[in-house]
Structure 1
C-alpha cells in the first residue's frame, strides 16, 4: 500500500480484528464490539456496534511512502516500511520494537528476517532502466510479479527467467491490484480512469471505467465478494462501487461484462482519506478521514426480488436466499388471498367451463362471493331457453334484439304498460296497491329470477327455492312484495321453528299480522321505530314497504344491503314508466363506478357492460371472470373490443405461466366454440417446390373425385390413400430419405414402433394426419422424410441418413435429445 501525509489503512493478514493506520506514524488498532470487555474505556467509536482500541504506536519511521505486512505468523506485527529516501525499514509494533534499515535501490527482493541478518545484495533486479510506481505478486503463480513503471507500461516478470517479460503500454500504471476471487483480473488507474485487465489477453484492457474529473487516489477489490471494485477520488466523501456481473458469453464473441454502478457515502460530511475492505466480514470496510476519524461501514447488498406466478416470493441478499411462505393457518381468511391464487384454484376446478348449468360456476369459485353469484345467475337467465324464446318472439314482431342488452335497455323500450290495483292476500284489510305490468317488465322479472316463462307472475317456485337455500328473510320479503302477507308470515314462522332458527322472526311475523293501512295508527309508529333497530336488511325493507306511500319507496330501493336483482324486480313492479327508467339509470351508473358485478343485470353484455367489467378488473384484477363472462353470451362486436381481447390474452398468459398447458388448450377450445372468429388460422404450410402452392390447402380446396386424401381430412373413406404429387401442378413430392417413397405415402409401420402404437393409431383416424406421416426435414442440408422414420433413425444416429451427406442434423437441434431405441 502507498502512503503519504494523508492517513491510510492496512489490515493485518493474520488477525481479522487488527489494522494499522499510517501517516507520520504507525498506529495499531483492534476492532471489536462496542461495550465489550476487550474494548477499553478510551476506545474510539466506529459505528453503533463497533469500536477501535489503540494497541501500539510506532513513531520511529518518518517519511513513509509505503507499508507492507510480513506474510508469516512469526514474528508478530512485523511490517516493512518504504521511506522517501529509498530505504526499507523492517519494524514491529508492540512493547519492544526495533528497526532494521536496508538500502533499496530500484526493486529489491531480499532479507532473511528470521536469522536477524541484513542482506544488502539483491536477489533479483528488474526494470533497471525504469522507476517502479506500483507492483503486486500474481496469486496464481508466486514466481511472477506485475510491475507498473514510469515509462507507461505494465510488465509481467517471471523470476525463473528474468530476461523475458510480457508488457503492454498504458497510462494506467498506478494502484495495480489483483482480484482475489478472479486471479486473472487486474485493476489499475490513471488520473480519473480505471482500467480492468485480463492477464490471459493482456494486449488491451477488457474495459475502462471513467470516473469524475477529480483524480483517483485508491482502488481496491472486495475480499469477500467476487467482482466488486471500490474506487475513491481526491477530496471526496463518496466511494464508488462497480459490481461486475458474470454472464455466459457466446464463444468467440468479445462482449463486455455487465457492470452495475452505485455510490456509498460512509461519512455524511467529512472527506475520506482512504478505506480498506474487511478481510473476512462480508461487504464491510473501514474508512478514515484526513484527521484520523475512522468509521466502520457496511455496504448493504442490493435486494433482488422474484415473484413467481404461483405467488411465491423469494429474495436474495448477499449469500443468503430467503423465501416468503404464505401462512396456511386458520387465521388467514379466504378473502385475504391474492387474486392470482384464487384464479389458479378456480382454474383447477374448471371454473367458467360449465355451459349447461351456468349458475354452478359461482360454486366453483367458493360460493361465498355475492357478486360472482349474481353474475353467474344473470348469465344463466340470459342464456336460459325461456328468455331466448321470449326474445325470439319479439324479433318476429320486428323489434330490436334484447338478448344481451340488459334491463336498462329493456325498460327503455317498454310500451303498453298497464296499471292494476291488487288487494292484500291473507289480510282483513282490502286496501288496493297499484302495480304495473308490461311484456318488458315481465322479461325483466325473469332476468331477476323471480318468475319463469309465461304471462302470469307466479313467484311460488322462487319462494320454495329460497326456503331450501335457507334464505328465509329474503323469501318472506319477496312474498310480501307480491302482496301475499299470509305466505310471508308462514315463511317467518317456519324459519323461527327451524333447528337454528331466529326467534326474532316470530316477533316480526306477529308485527306483520297486525298490519293496518291507517296512516296515524300506533302500529305504523311502532313499526317505523322497529325498522331502525333491525339489523337484517330484508326485514327492514319489509316494514319500509308497509309504511311507505304508493310510489315513494326510496327506503326499499336504496337499501344497499339488499341484492340488486331484488331491488330492480321491486322497481319493475311498483314504479311507473317515468320513475323506473330514472331509477335504473341512476343504479346503473353506481354499479359502473363501483365495478359491482351485480350491475351486469342492468347493463347486459353491451358496451356499458364492458365499462362495468373494466372497473371490476381495475379493482380486483380478476381477468378470469371477465374473460368467461364476455365469452358466455356477448355478441361479436363486444368481443372485438380491445379491452375484452386484453383480458382474454392476459388470462391465457396466466395459464401458460402456471404451466396449465391443458387448461389453456381447453380454454382455447371453449373460446373457439363461443367465438368462432377467434379460431386461429393455419400458420405453417407445406408448399410445392415447383408451383409454390400449399399442398394441404390445395387438397382441401379440391373437390373429392373418388381419390381420397384422408390425411388432409378430405376423404370419407376409412382406407388410407396416397397423395404422392402436388394437387396443383401434379409434380411428384420429395422422397423420404429412408423408405425412398414419395412424401404423402401413409406410413404403415415405422422401425421402432410396436403393435401397441399401431392399435392406438386406429383411434385417431379423425385427425388431419398421423404424426408419423408428417413432413420433416433438416434446415441445413434440406434432407428429410416421414416424421416416424426420422425419429427412429435419429434415436441411434446423429448424422444425416442420405449417403455422402455429412450433416450432423440432430446436433443442430438444441432440443434434439432422443432416447436410444435399445433403452426404451
Structure 2
C-alpha cells in the first residue's frame, strides 16, 4: 500500500524512498519515537528516515506530508542511506540533544551517526564505529538512560569472544569497552534496569535470562532457565518487572522471585515484539506475526508477588500487517504503528473513563492520568442530585441531631418525613414530661398506648364507648358513629388530633390550616369533626367552590341521586383530602376503607381517623396492617405507631437501606432510644458508622459533641483510649489516687512521676517541667473534680516528639512553621492535617 498525502494522491517522493523496502519482502520495517523529542521519530528497513510530527490545527499540511491520524501528520526531515544491513537501532537518550543513532549491523559493527551535521561532530562522536574483535551479527543495541555515555551491544556467538560488549564513548582516545560478558555465548536481547544503571538483563543461548552487575561482571547477579529470551525489556515504572517472549508466549518476570515467570501469557500467534508503555504503569504492548492489531496486557499486582492480567487488543486504523510499533515517551497512551507496506498511523489507546469519588464528596472523572472533569463538594450540582452524603455533611455542619430541643432539628432538614418525626418526637417528650400520656418510655407509639403489643388479649383491656354524634350546621338528621375511650384520647394526642372532639379547638385548628394554605386538609378536618357547614363555607371562597356546592347537597339517604353522583365523580378529584371527604360521606355500613387507603393523606391523619371512627377490632386490625406496610416501605411515619422501642428497629433499618441516611437513624436512636435498646448491636452499628463519617469529614467538634450526648445516655463508661505514662517506669502519671485526702484547694505537684520520682519532660517554650500546676490547677470543692484547663495539657509532634504546654505550643505556631527546639528542622505545623482542615 503506497503512502498518500492528505488529499489521497500517491506521493512520488516517498514512493521512491520506500521502493527498495517494498521490493524486499523479507525486510521488516521498524518505527521508533525519539526518547528526547516529543515530535520526532524514525523508521528504518534498508534506509533510515527522520520525521517530524505536527498538529493539523497548528499548521496547514503540505503536499508531501503524510497523514498519521485525523489530528496529526508527519513531514520527512532527512534520510540516511549509508547503512544497508541494519539489524537494530537505538537513539541517544540525553535530553536536549540532537538525534544520534546507534545502528547495529549484520557484521557486528555499531555505528554512531546522525542526519547530517550536528553538535556531535565536534565531540568526535558522529561517525564513530564500535567494532567487535570478530565479525558476527549484532542482535541488539541499547543506550543506558541513566548514564548516556554507556552503550551495550548484544552479538551472535563466537567461540572465543564475548557476546555482550559495554562501550564507553567518553574516552578521548576513542570508544573503549568497560565490560565484556558471555564468552562463547549468544545474546538475543538485553535491557538496562531502570533504577540500577549498572545492571543488565540479558536473554542468552535460547535457554536463560541472566542479570549481570557491571561492578562485578564475573558473577551473575541472578539467572533463570527459560526459552523466553527474546525481547527482554524492563518496565519503566518498576524496579522489579521484566517482560520477554518466545514463540507465542509472553513471560512476565519479577526479579524478586526470578526462578520462574510470575505470569505466562499464551497468545494465538508467534510474538515479534513486546514493549512497556513509558507513560502508563504496568501496561505492556505485544505484536504478533501477520497481525493487524496490537495486544495490550495490563499487569496488576494484587499482593507482594501475586499478579493478574487484563488483556485486550486494538486496531490502530491501518490496513495491512503491522510490523512494528513504538510508544510515545511523554504523551500518555500514544503509539506509532507501521505496516509491511510502510503505512504509518498515530494512535491513542482509549482506556475506560473512571469515576473517583472521595470521602469528602469531591468527584473526578479521569482518563488514564488526565483529569476530564472534577466536581467540588461545594458545587450546586449536589443539590440537584440529592446526594445524601453531601446533604448529611451540610446538616452536620449546622448541628443537626444535637439540638437541645428535639423539634429544633426539624428546622435543619428539608425532608418532610424527617420534619414530621422530629416534631413528633419533641411533642411526645413534652406530653410525657407533662404527664399527659402515661408511659415509662418518653416516646411511646400508638400501639403501646393502645396495648396492642402486650401479651394480654386486647379485647380484655380496651372497651370503647360508642356514640352517635350528629353533623353540625346542616338540615338533615345525619349522624356518625364515634368511638371513644381514655386510651383512644391519649393516642389522639400523639397524632396531634386531640381537637377532634372539642368543637372550639377544632375550629381553631381549621383556621390555622387555612392560614397555612392547606385549605383541603382544613375542610377534611372539619368534615371528620362533623362540622360540615364549616367545610362548605371554607371551600366556597376558593377555587373549590364547585366541591362546596356538592357538599351542600349532602343527605344521609343511601339511595339518593346525590350519593350516586358523588360516588361516581370522587375519583376524578385530584386532591386526596377531597376524595377522602366524599369517601367518608358516602361510606356504606361504616366501611371506611376508601378513606383509610388514601395513601396521599398524611399517616397521622389516617391513624387519627381510625381512632375516631373504627370499632376496637377493626381499628386494631388496621393499625397492625398499617405498621407492617410502613415498616416494609421504610416510612419514618411508622415510628408514630411503633414508638421508640425494639419494634422500630426494622423500620429504621429499611429507611436506612432506602436512603443511606445513617445520620438521621443514628441521631434518632441516640436521642430517643431507651438505654437497653441504645446499647444493642444494631443501634451501636448505626452510631459507629456515623462516627466514622464524621471522622472522614474531619468534623471533630461535631463528633465530640455527638459522643458526649451518646455517653451521657449509656450505662457503660467509655473506654479510656489515651494514657500518659512515665518514660522511665512506664506507669501512669495520674495523681488522682494520691490527692484524694487533700484539702479542697491543695494543689498536686505532678512535675515528676508520682511513682519513680523522675522528672517529666520540659516544655520546649517555657522550659518548665511538664505537668507543673498553675493557679487554676485546683480541686473544685463542690464537685471534687480536678480543674485542669486545656492550656496546660500535654502537646507534642508525632514526628519529632518535641512539645510542651498546649497554650505555649499554639502561640508558637501562630508565627512559625518549624519546631521550637533548637537544631530541630521538623516542620511540625505542616504535618498537622487538622491545621488546614475546615470543620
Relative to the length of structure 1, the TM-score reads: 0.71
**1:381 Cα deviation after fit:** 2.9
1:136 matched to 2:175? The reply is no
Distance 1:386 1:582, change over 3 A: same
- Separation in 2 of the partners of 1:488 and 1:744? 75
Structure 1 counterpart of 2:558, from 481, 499, 519: 519
Helix, strand or coil: the match of 1:362? helix
1:355 matched residue in structure 2: 404
- Separation in 2 of the partners of 1:27 and 1:771? 75
2:152 matched residue in structure 1: 146
8 Å CA contact retained: 1:168, 1:204: no
Tell me the alpha carbon deviations over residues 294-319 of structure 1, each in whole angstroms, 9 at most, x when there is no partner.
Answer: 65532235655432344321233356
**1:586 Cα deviation after fit:** 1.6
- Separation in 2 of the partners of 1:79 and 1:588? 82
Tell me the alpha carbon deviations over residues 310-332 of structure 1, each in whole angstroms, 9 at most, x when there is no partner.
Answer: 432123335633333479999x7
Distance 1:518 1:196, change over 3 A: farther
8 Å CA contact retained: 2:760, 2:769: yes
Structure 2 counterpart of 1:311, from 361, 375, 378: 361
Mean CA deviation greater in 447-456 or 563-572: 447-456
**1:426 Cα deviation after fit:** 1.9
Tell me the alpha carbon deviations over residues 691-715 of structure 1, each in whole angstroms, 9 at most, x when there is no partner.
Answer: 9875538529x8x43x14xxxxxxx
Tell me the alpha carbon deviations over residues 406-457 of structure 1, each in whole angstroms, 9 at most, x when there is no partner.
Answer: 4377352551222222122222233332111222222221111111799999
1:7 matched residue in structure 2: 28
Structure 1 counterpart of 2:374, from 294, 302, 324: 324
1:336 matched to 2:390? The reply is no
1:617 matched residue in structure 2: 656
Helix, strand or coil: the match of 2:373? strand
**1:221 Cα deviation after fit:** 5.7
Tell me the alpha carbon deviations over residues 517-563 of structure 1, each in whole angstroms, 9 at most, x when there is no partner.
Answer: 01122222332244223211111111111111242001100001100
- Separation in 1 of the partners of 2:298 and 2:208? 13
- Separation in 1 of the partners of 2:357 and 2:190? 42
1:466 matched residue in structure 2: 513
Tell me the alpha carbon deviations over residues 144-203 of structure 1, each in whole angstroms, 9 at most, x when there is no partner.
Answer: 322335546463535417566146779994444679999889776566998899999998
Distance 1:239 1:172, change over 3 A: farther
Helix, strand or coil: the match of 2:404? coil
Helix, strand or coil: the match of 1:578? helix
Aligned 1:342-491 pairs, distance under 5 A? 342-356=391-405, 358-366=406-414, 369-386=415-432, 389-392=435-438, 403-407=443-447, 410=450, 412=452, 413=458, 415-451=462-498, 459-491=506-538
Tell me the alpha carbon deviations over residues 594-633 of structure 1, each in whole angstroms, 9 at most, x when there is no partner.
Answer: 1111111122223332211111111111111111221221
- Separation in 1 of the partners of 2:130 and 2:52? 37
- Separation in 2 of the partners of 1:517 and 1:769? 78
1:635 matched residue in structure 2: 674
Helix, strand or coil: the match of 1:265? strand
1:248 matched residue in structure 2: none
Q: Unaligned stretches of 5+ in structure 2? A: 1-20, 223-238, 250-270, 453-457, 833-839
Distance 1:439 1:174, change over 3 A: farther
1:593 matched to 2:629? The reply is no
Distance 1:30 1:219, change over 3 A: same
8 Å CA contact retained: 1:309, 1:657: yes
Tell me the alpha carbon deviations over residues 73-105 of structure 1, each in whole angstroms, 9 at most, x when there is no partner.
Answer: xxx999998764x3xxxxxxxxxxxxxxxxxx6
8 Å CA contact retained: 2:320, 2:339: yes
1:20 matched to 2:31? The reply is no
1:579 matched residue in structure 2: 618
1:569 matched residue in structure 2: 608
8 Å CA contact retained: 1:375, 1:597: yes
1:499 matched residue in structure 2: none
- Separation in 1 of the partners of 2:83 and 2:273? 23
Helix, strand or coil: the match of 2:734? helix
1:558 matched residue in structure 2: 597
Mean CA deviation greater in 136-145 or 448-457: 448-457
8 Å CA contact retained: 2:431, 2:437: no
Q: In angstroms, what is the RMSD of aligned CA positions? A: 5.8
**1:364 Cα deviation after fit:** 1.5
8 Å CA contact retained: 1:798, 1:811: yes
- Separation in 2 of the partners of 1:462 and 1:611? 34
8 Å CA contact retained: 1:449, 1:462: no
Structure 1 counterpart of 2:166, from 155, 161, 166: 155
Structure 1 counterpart of 2:722, from 672, 684, 697: 684
Structure 2 counterpart of 1:165, from 144, 166, 178: 178
Distance 1:635 1:194, change over 3 A: farther
8 Å CA contact retained: 1:387, 1:443: no
8 Å CA contact retained: 2:429, 2:442: no
Aligned 1:718-797 pairs, distance under 5 A? 718=745, 720-722=747-749, 731=755, 733-736=757-760, 745-747=772-774, 768-771=787-790, 774=793
**1:636 Cα deviation after fit:** 2.4
Helix, strand or coil: the match of 2:403? coil
8 Å CA contact retained: 2:445, 2:640: no
Helix, strand or coil: the match of 1:428? coil
Aligned 1:66-215 pairs, distance under 5 A? 66=88, 84=106, 86=107, 106-107=109-110, 127-128=132-133, 132-138=138-144, 143-149=149-155, 150=157, 151=162, 153=164, 155-160=166-171, 165-166=178-179, 173-176=187-190, 204=221, 206-210=239-243, 214=247
Helix, strand or coil: the match of 2:435? helix
**1:262 Cα deviation after fit:** 5.4
8 Å CA contact retained: 2:273, 2:288: yes
8 Å CA contact retained: 1:230, 1:239: yes
1:218 matched to 2:270? The reply is no
8 Å CA contact retained: 1:778, 1:784: yes
Distance 1:183 1:262, change over 3 A: farther
- Separation in 2 of the partners of 1:461 and 1:798? 69
- Separation in 2 of the partners of 1:786 and 1:136? 61
Mean CA deviation greater in 792-801 or 155-164: 792-801
Helix, strand or coil: the match of 1:306? strand
8 Å CA contact retained: 1:193, 1:209: no
- Separation in 2 of the partners of 1:468 and 1:143? 90
Helix, strand or coil: the match of 1:384? helix
Helix, strand or coil: the match of 1:324? strand
Tell me the alpha carbon deviations over residues 749-789 of structure 1, each in whole angstroms, 9 at most, x when there is no partner.
Answer: 9xxxxxxxx9xx9xx99764235655689999999997789
8 Å CA contact retained: 2:104, 2:139: no
